[in-house]
Amino acid sequence: MAGGQERELYNFLFHDELSPFFSQLKPAATDSAGDRHGLNQLEPPPFLSFTDVLRGGPMADYGAVARALGLSAPPPDVLGSGGTRPAKELMVDVGNAGNSLTSPGGGGVTNPATPNSSISSSSTEAAGDEDGEKWKKDQLKQEEEVEKQQAKGDEEGGEHKSKKVNPPRKKGDKRPREPRFAFVTKSEVDNLEDGYRWRKYGQKAVKNSPYPRSYYRCTTQKCSVKKRVERSYLNPTIVITTYEGKHTHQCPATGRGSTHLFPPSPALSFSQDFVMQQIMQQVNGNNMQAGSINPNLYLPPPLQQMQFQDYGLLQDMIPSFSNDDNQPRDI
DNA sequence: CGATTTTGACCAGCGC
DNA sequence: GCGCTGGTCAAAATCG
């Protein structure tokens, strides 16, 4: 991967789509006076461990987020501080993080004790209990429908090749969203190497943006993880990668002697795997013993994370991400 | 030749 | 109801 060392990575945790995230950026935010909202403003508070972050830690409330982002009261030393950060991360739970791909009771690879699970509950709550209930109902309903459809399909003798036959959903049946995680990455390349293999299945123009959004699916059979990749139109060096779903397999990269010493533990969600990989890259770059790092206990200083739990909040926050002026290129 | 990408069309959800 | 938009499909094109 070309941009491995040349990027700043921002991971966010928030609800709902990323699209409005950048599409609503105001160009005006890029003027020089707006520097205080630049990416370099994203100086999170001290150290957050993954556990902290994923459990809805210190960044969970708007005030903290806003402060950290310099929306209202930026820390005086945020600009250009920490000159040698190879990467910054903010992790965004982009949606139904509470609904693990592995269905409740489905066992699967989900470890109920994973930080991810913790996020989900808190973020789901943040999203609103009603929605949560609704989703559960929808899912149950959909499962029933799917079963019916499958039974019917079997009787009728298989797949007919009309479009849109795959999702046998009824009108009004909302498709349940997978847990989603967005990573905002400063990178030259769109398709960031995350160890998995992806096949592009679509591309759409993004409203208010000259840059298209690409849709990828994990090429591994039976793995339904998807990701979307788009660029910020205000800051083309920023790539927003949104992962949806959970890998049901090990990371191919780790299977063939990748430099990441992290085992693709099924206990970690794919997103965490990814974050871990990013961390390990950073860690390795800092002459640290990757194998000695416990992801739950240690977050390398170069990686600083924030968690946002409210989509509306994100929208408010976005302008602070839009301005790339005088962004520190601390590579 | 299989895998992947491109691209236009289709569909669903949502706001007005 | 209509139009807009996001997401997906699938045939064709391209790549390795």
Per residue in A117-140, pLDDT tens? 333 333 333 333 444 444 444 445
Residue A209's alpha-carbon distances to A18, A19, A59, A118, A325, in angstroms, are 13, 10, 29, 34, 19
pTM of the predicted protein model:
0.52
Distance CA A31, CA A206 (A): 23
Question: Is the Cβ–Cβ distance between A232 and A238 less than 8 Å?
Answer: yes
* Amino acid type, A55: R
Cβ of A137 near strand B (distance < 7 A): no
The first and second tokens of residue A190, run together, are: 């769109």
The per-residue pLDDT for A254 is: 53
Q: How far is the CA of A109 from the C1' of B11 (A)?
A: 32
pLDDT, tens digit only, all 331 positions of chain A: 434 444 455 554 444 444 444 444 444 333 333 333 333 333 333 333 333 333 333 333 333 333 333 333 333 333 333 333 333 445 555 444 333 333 333 333 333 333 333 333 333 333 334 444 444 444 454 445 444 444 444 444 333 333 443 444 444 445 556 667 777 777 776 666 777 888 999 998 888 788 889 999 888 877 878 888 888 877 778 888 888 877 777 766 554 444 433 333 333 344 444 454 554 444 344 433 333 333 333 333 333 333 333 333 333 333 334 444 444 444 3
> Taking the C1' atom of B4, which residue's CA lies nearest?
A199
Angle between helix axes A115-127 and A270-285 (nearest 10 degrees) is 120
Q: How far is the CA of A290 from the C1' of B10 (A)?
A: 48
The first and second tokens of residue A171, run together, are: 């009108």
Cβ of A141 near strand B (distance < 7 A): no
The first and second tokens of residue A86, run together, are: 């190879």
Q: How far is the CA of A331 from the C1' of B15 (A)?
A: 44
User: Average pLDDT, whole number, for chain A?
Assistant: 49
Contacts of A226 (CB under 8 A, 6+ apart): A178, A215, A216, A217, A218, A243, A244, A245
Distance CA A81, CA A77 (A): 6
Q: How far is the CA of A201 from the C1' of C13 (A)?
A: 14
Q: What is the pLDDT of residues A171-219, one digit of tens each?
A: 444 555 666 777 777 777 666 677 788 899 999 888 878 888 999 988 8
- The C-alpha R_g of chain A, in whole angstroms, comes to 20
The per-residue pLDDT for A280 is: 43
Cβ of A312 near strand C (distance < 7 A): no
Distance CA A70, CA A76 (A): 9
Strand C proximal residues, A:201-260, Cβ < 7 Å: 201-207, 213, 215, 226, 228
Q: How far is the CA of A176 from the C1' of B6 (A)?
A: 28
Distance CA A118, CA A296 (A): 13
Question: In the complex, which nucleotide's C1' lies nearest to the CA atom of residue A197?
Answer: B4
The total number of residues shown for chain A amounts to: 331
Longest dimension (CA), chain A: 68
The per-residue pLDDT for A35 is: 38
The per-residue pLDDT for A215 is: 92
